[in-house]
Amino acid sequence: MLKKHPEPDSDCVARHKALKADVEHHNRLYYVEARTEISDQEFDARLRELADLEAAWPALQTPDSPTLRVGGAPLEGFKTVVHRVPMLSIDNTYSESELRDFDARVQRGLDGDTPTYMVELKLDGVAIALRYENHILQQALTRGDGVQGDDVTQNVRTIGSIPLRLPPHAPPTLEVRGEIFMTVDELKRLNKIREAAGEEPYRNPRNTTAGTLKLLDSREVAKRNLSIYLYHVVPGDGFPSATHGEALALLKAYGLPVNEHVEACNDIDAVIKTCMKWTTRRFELDYEIDGMVIKVDDPGQRDRLGATSKAPRWVIAYKFPAEVRQTRLLDITVQVGKSGALTPVAELEPVPLAGTIVKRASLYNFEDLAKKDLRVGDLVEVQKAGEIIPQVLRFVPEERLETAVPFPIPTACPECTTPTHKDPDDAILRCVNLACPAQLKERLAHFSSRKAMDIEGMGPALIEQLVARELVRDPADLFGLDTPRLMGLERMGEKSAANLVQALEDCKKQRSLKHLLFGLGIRHVGNSTAETLAQKFGSIEALMEADAPTLEAVEDVGVIVAQSVLDFFDTPANQKLVLRLRDCGLCLTEVQPVIIEDGDNPIAGKVFVVTGKLSRFTRDEIHSHIKERGGKAAGSVSKKTDYLVAGEKAGSKLKKATALGVTILTEEDFQQLLGEPV
């Protein structure tokens, strides 16, 4: 228990600042970028320590403290909408004793009344709120930060199990909440397709679900067969007062998907027994769960218990303890990433773990490896952090071999023998040789990826050969490849070679500065930041001439990103690469919105939505025309929409736009609006 002081000392202030930044970092990774670096237990421990500090010294708590937040920031690229009723999070617990503590708190809150609990599966997916009006699905919002979320209605409508219209016996207005997820079998199906195309497979169902819901093209979403289960009704709107069990039965009667694995428990012993049963039974399911959710069944008792600013008091999540297995550490290898980072990797004797066979596990960095003192030949304990990432916890001391020796920290890159360099601000060792073959292969794969230069046919096997035969030493060399040289490679016939050469030519015309900046792999510059920099500076020359204050003043570009951009363009080898890419004919500029006097530009300031099957334009081309002329391309129709560009087989967007009185344009109409001949 922390002791309270009138004012926190400097150590407490520093610890609070570090914890606050750390929790916000991991919040953003999980909710916005859909990935994790630490386990749920580690995150909860840090958040709990932060809350304890603020409880002891209230002056430390500021309005932006992570302890006052429900979740992460809304995703970018969709209209943000305020939830009618906030989507609160759920407190987590990890042990039988903590479940009993929860039960004791509930009974105290009910003045000794004994509740009935409903225990259901905690799906590992993306939380969603569905809003029905006049029995029609009108809106689907992600949780976002709990107060406001992203409107992903068009994407959610592609989920086959969601009824677009409720039956007449359902309330006309209804808001239900649940979890969107992807089955394990569906992930395997998608990965077979990606691997056949030479693309990197998706890592896990949860992250793939989150990424799918962020896609702006609902046609692509429809190809991924997402699933959903609903588990909560927002009170009001004509829905009858009911227990949780009765509410689920009503939802099922309305044709809404409800998970069958829900059990009523009359006491906490039965709750614990059910949780323990699913600790092992979860691997029988075709979808991932990471725990159980325990809810008070009676609505009147829920009202009496109420909620904190963060979570209801009548519900708690029991998170499964990570499954731990022992196996032998056969070897430690070193991987070199596209930025030159050297990462130790544990090569393990295959072991079944959380439903998969684990053979390898990242050891993160060499400081972590030394701290854990892992040695080749050790018997080690392995778990999956957050049921996703294999993680080596420790070695078993009594099983250590006398011949085991500490793993030496590399003084040279294992691929090119260049002396390693340690970053002054973190624990990462790097190879600083930009010509390192391992780095080069990773950089070429990134440069060719869909969000970068989108070079079709540039798969891992081809990149391996190009680097091994020294045909390509940097991205600029790709544009010097011709059909005869490519035909000399394995599994590369004349047609495949010609197609690749054409793809390289096409990307010169079709990809702009934002794609190139992302493809260059500048540290800390992701896809969104690359687009921001391209729009702000307009050309790579202007960006290269920018100083630190100018860069830091750009939205979403802070001190770290600015310094990373400066370091990249201050490097002579990178300057030479940019010149060579320019000489190869790549586009090093970004089209800026055309400044036209008011009245002469019918697109400036207008909001457009595009729908239906197009024949004259691609969707991206229409969006580009709109942005170039100062308009806005939106994903859904609303009262703010000025124009709907409708192709063939336009559906619900056309109906809604017509009902709202939005001006409907054919592709020919849009072309005339551009001032171009039809």
Specify the pLDDT at position 52. 83
Half-sphere exposure of 544 (CA within 13 A, CB side): 18
Dist CA 293 CA 284 (whole Å): 18
Specify the pLDDT at position 556. 67
Dist CA 286 CA 181 (whole Å): 11
Q: Which residues pair with 291 in a beta bridge?
A: 122, 319
Alpha helical stretches, state H, 520-570:
527-537, 540-545, 548-552, 559-570
Q: Are 376 and 329 in contact (CB under 8 A)?
A: yes
Q: What is the pTM of this model?
A: 0.49
The pLDDT of 448-453, averaged and rounded, is: 89
Residue indicated by tokens 């860069």: 551
The pLDDT of 464-489, averaged and rounded, is: 92
Closest CA to 603 of 620, 627, 624, 639: 627
The pLDDT of 507-529, averaged and rounded, is: 88
Q: Which residues pair with 498 in a beta bridge?
A: none
Specify the pLDDT at position 291. 94
Dist CA 292 CA 382 (whole Å): 23
The secondary structure element, H or E, covering residue 514 is helix 513-519
Specify the pLDDT at position 241. 82
Dist CA 589 CA 540 (whole Å): 6
Closest CA to 367 of 344, 389, 398, 334: 344
pLDDT tens-digit readout, 48-76: 888 888 888 888 877 567 765 443 444 44
Specify the pLDDT at position 596. 47
Contacts of 7 (CB under 8 A, 6+ apart): 57, 59
Dist CA 441 CA 590 (whole Å): 27
Specify the pLDDT at position 597. 47
Which of 22-26, 115-119, 214-218, 468-472 has the highest mean predicted lDDT (pLDDT)? 115-119
Quote the longest CA-to-CA distance of the chain: 84
Helix axes 572-583, 559-570, angle to 10 degrees: 70
Specify the pLDDT at position 31. 43
Tokens of residue 284, six digits: 């029988």
Domains of the chain (ranges, CATH numbers):
10-68 (1.10.287.610), 80-319 (3.30.470.30), 325-422 (2.40.50.140), 437-583 (1.10.150.20), 607-673 (3.40.50.10190)
pLDDT higher for 321 or 251? 251
Q: Is the pLDDT of residue 303 over 60?
A: yes
Q: Is the pLDDT of residue 14 over 70?
A: yes
Specify the pLDDT at position 184. 84
Closest CA to 374 of 348, 349, 355, 392: 392
Burial track 554-573 (b if 16+ CB lie within 10 A, e otherwise): beebeeebbebbeebbeeee
Q: Are 643 and 608 in contact (CB under 8 A)?
A: yes
pLDDT tens-digit readout, 563-608: 989 988 998 888 999 999 999 999 999 866 554 444 567 888 888 9
Q: Is the pLDDT of residue 385 over 80?
A: no
Q: How far, in Å, are 74, 614, 643, 661 from residue 649 at the CA level?
A: 31, 9, 17, 19
Question: Radius of gyration over alpha carbons of the chain, in Å?
Answer: 28
Contacts of 181 (CB under 8 A, 6+ apart): 123, 124, 125, 126, 205, 206, 209, 226, 227, 228, 229, 287, 288
Mean pLDDT (the chain, rounded): 85
Residues in the chain, overall count: 678
Q: Is the pLDDT of residue 380 over 60?
A: yes
Specify the pLDDT at position 198. 55
Sign of CA dihedral 238, 241, 243, 244: positive
Dist CA 531 CA 674 (whole Å): 24
Identified catalytic residue from 4, 17, 122, 252: 122
**Quick one: pLDDT band at residue 128, thresholds 50, 70, 90?**
very high
CA torsion, ordered 440, 441, 444, 446, to nearest 10 deg: -110
Which of 35-49, 178-192, 214-228, 640-654 has the highest mean predicted lDDT (pLDDT)? 178-192
Dist CA 492 CA 285 (whole Å): 42
Q: Is there a catalytic annotation at residue 3?
A: no
pLDDT tens-digit readout, 273-293: 999 999 888 878 889 898 999
The secondary structure element, H or E, covering residue 498 is helix 494-510
The pLDDT of 318-338, averaged and rounded, is: 89
Q: Is the pLDDT of residue 32 over 50?
A: no
Specify the pLDDT at position 144. 86
pLDDT higher for 97 or 630? 97
Specify the pLDDT at position 28. 59
Q: How far, in Å, are 157, 197, 440, 478, 484 from residue 497 at the CA level?
A: 41, 16, 21, 12, 8
Q: Are 311 and 146 in contact (CB under 8 A)?
A: no
Helix (H, G, I), strand (E, B) or coil at 661: coil
Dist CA 390 CA 387 (whole Å): 8
Closest CA to 622 of 660, 666, 562: 666
Closest CA to 506 of 541, 575, 576, 457: 457
Residue 454 gets the label, from left (phi > 0), alpha (psi -120 to 50) or beta, of left
